């Protein structure tokens, strides 16, 4: 048994670190979400909605994002037409938690790891804001493509970015890069 523990030690450390980081970050996020009333939109989702509105306003889009009167999401109106809603799951925090957990599991030097994590979080967040803005515009013009756009194309883009960041991290910066 000891032989196998020694042989698989790097893998076991990776799995242990990944799941520990993932569980801790997910629990912290859940504690944060629990500070909001059931019909209230959380602060991060509010910021995402505000950033989507700011981005689209830069392009002179007729955009209005407001809290739903009845539920815990933000209604997105584009060209005076209700298009989509931004729910808590649209704020990319779960994707960021997955990204951070993986990078920590393959950590390198502290400063490099911290800079890569912060840069990755900003990149994922910015792509997510752009994703929601593009989704609103595309759904206005192509409502029949909603399932493909929301369920396939845009998850592929955001998870593709995370995968690309992981590949860069493992090959260039992690302790296993050599």
**Residue 3's pLDDT is what?**
77
Q: What six digits make up the tokens of 58?
A: 């830069």
Of these ranges, 104-108, 160-164, 170-174, the one predicted with the greatest mean pLDDT is 160-164
Q: What six digits make up the tokens of 116?
A: 């890569």
**Residue 175's pLDDT is what?**
77
In the three-class reduction of DSSP (H, G, I as helix; E, B as strand; rest coil), residue 41 is classed as coil
pLDDT in tens, 67-99: 999 899 999 999 999 999 999 999 999 999 999
Cα(100)–Cα(121) distance, rounded to whole angstroms? 8
Q: How confident is the model at residue 178 (pLDDT cuts 50, 70, 90)?
A: low
Cα(51)–Cα(46) distance, rounded to whole angstroms? 9
- The pTM (predicted TM-score) of the whole model is 0.92
**Residue 90's pLDDT is what?**
94
First and final CA of the chain: distance in angstroms? 29
pLDDT score of 10 more than 90? no
Whether 113 and 55 have beta carbons less than 8 Å apart is answered as: no
């Amino acid at each position: 048994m000891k032989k196998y523990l020694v042989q698989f030690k790097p893998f076991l450390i990776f799995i242990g670190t990944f799941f520990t980081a993932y569980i801790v970050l997910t629990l912290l996020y859940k504690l944060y979400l629990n500070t909001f009333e059931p019909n209230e939109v959380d602060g991060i989702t509010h910021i995402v909605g505000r950033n989507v509105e700011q981005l689209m306003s830069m392009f002179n889009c007729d955009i209005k994002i407001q809290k739903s009167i009845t539920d815990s999401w933000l209604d997105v109106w584009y060209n005076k037409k209700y298009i989509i809603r931004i729910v808590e799951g649209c704020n990319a925090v779960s994707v960021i938690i997955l990204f951070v957990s993986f990078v920590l599991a393959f950590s390198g030097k502290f400063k490099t790891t911290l800079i890569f994590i912060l840069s990755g979080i900003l990149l994922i967040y910015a792509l997510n804001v752009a994703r929601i803005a593009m989704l609103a515009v595309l759904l206005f013009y192509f409502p029949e493509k909603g399932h493909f756009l929301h369920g396939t194309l845009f998850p592929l883009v955001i998870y593709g970015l995370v995968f690309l960041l992981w590949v860069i991290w493992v090959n260039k910066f992690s302790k296993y890069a050599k």
